[in-house]
Amino acid sequence: MLYSAFFRRQLEKLPLLPVDSDAIQILHEAREFKQRILDLIAQAERRIYLVALYLQDDEAGREIMQALYSAKQQRPELDIRVFVDFHRAQRGLIGKGPQCGNHTMYQEFAEKFPSCDIPFYGVPIKRREWLGVLHLKGFVFDNTVLYSGASLNDVYLHQQDRYRFDRYHQITNPALADSFSRFIFRHFVNDIAVPRLDKPEIPQIKHIKTEQRRFRRRLQSGRYEFEESVIGPRQFGLTPLVGLGKRGNRLNRTIRDVIRSAEQNVFICTPYFNPPSSLSRDLEGLLHRNVSVTIVVGDKTSNDFYIPPEEPFKTVGGLPYLYEMNLRRFASRYQTYIDRGQLNIMLWRHDQNSYHLKGLFVDDKLSLITGSNLNPRAWALDLENGFLIRDPHQLLKTRFDAEKENILRYTTRLTHFSELEELKAYPEAVKRLLTRIQRFKAHILLKQIL
């Protein structure tokens, strides 16, 4: 009890924004999320700022683009800006062969609508994509923030037959929207390290390497700024957080504090089971303290990179199996807690769809909405953000319970670690790849960057 109380006190030191309980809406489906984006674009009167890993050149991406330009044509005073990862925007999809980057679509629309100036910024977190990307999320429409771990493309928005399941939250609060806007203006707009991608001349990263290093250092000390206050009887507290790098990462520290503050139960969502060593220790501590732990993770077939055995194998198709091996080792180590019902590992699988949920629920009073994958890459390489929600009056309990029920809808509880396949049962191409990786101990490096 004293252990968890210490970390609750640490969380109480965080500044917070008071938010009315009826100002948050939780969406449950990708198609609903897409429609909400389109509705908010159409309704916005003052500003639209979209921050995502990418806005894809596909059917859904073009629909979003068309909506943005239509809004700008109808309301020229509307300030619209889009921020995506610098590297991701200039390449095609992994494993899909040669492709033009999404930046060509941005330039195409800029040429098609010369009277509508909508800047598309490429944010370079690191000099190479595999070393770190813009994983900060959030869309601002006037005084509303729409937050999800999803990017903008066909599968995230359920444009066609398949969808990628995520969390979707809409919060209407002027102070939060202003704080989010101030951050992106202070750090992204008018910085020479953040070029526009809708213009034909995009500098190569090697030509802005000095500016990019300075940019990254500034980001590491970046904070969401707002006037803190206390919550009223019909309000909850919200703390926006941002983090980059291992040292002084406020988001990572808060995630650990939230978990270590638990007294009764913890509910964790992560698409790729590869927790940092510190987080693994925290999970072990929860089990030793008799806290109930539920981990909802995607089955390997629900991974973004899963390739069915009947299709040609590519190296990237080995990732889902690496994550499953991690999960099998974890489940084997804590099988006793699974047998007791204290540890619940829930595997999500729904037809050919994929799973991309992240976040935490603790003791029905704390929740973390985030795009962080809770893995070493998120912990050290990518720019991440999230919203910590403190709900001492449990005003949001019914809504969060409904969200958890929706998350668990297509899950199956793992009763024994042997229910997960092991290396010898994998397809031959996968076995050869993973055996080679383990022989050269490459899995140690891969664990840090995947």
Neighbours of 172 (CB within 10 A): 18
Please say if 135 is a catalytic residue: yes
166 belongs to the catalytic site:
yes
**Which phi and psi angles does 395 have, rounded to 5°?**
-70, -25
Among residues 303, 308, 379, 307, the alpha carbon closest in space to that of 347 is found at: 303
Q: Which of 322, 354, 317, 345 is nearest to 450 (CA)?
A: 322
- Per annotation, catalytic residue among 57, 299, 384, 403: 384
| Marked catalytic residue, from 356, 382, 391, 403 | 356
Residue 34 one-letter amino acid? K
Distance CA 48, CA 285 (A): 43
The alpha carbon torsion through 157, 160, 165, 171 (nearest 10 deg) reads 20
Strands (E), 382-438: 384-390, 411-413
**Active-site annotation holder among 154, 166, 324, 391:** 166
Strands, E assignment, 249-289: 265-270
One of 135, 158, 169, 187 is an active-site residue; which one?
A: 135
Burial (Cβ within 10 Å: 0-12, 13-18, ≥19) of residue 415:
middle
**Residues 382 and 374: beta-carbon distance below 8 Å:** no
Give catalytic residues, as residue numbers.
Answer: 135, 166, 356, 384
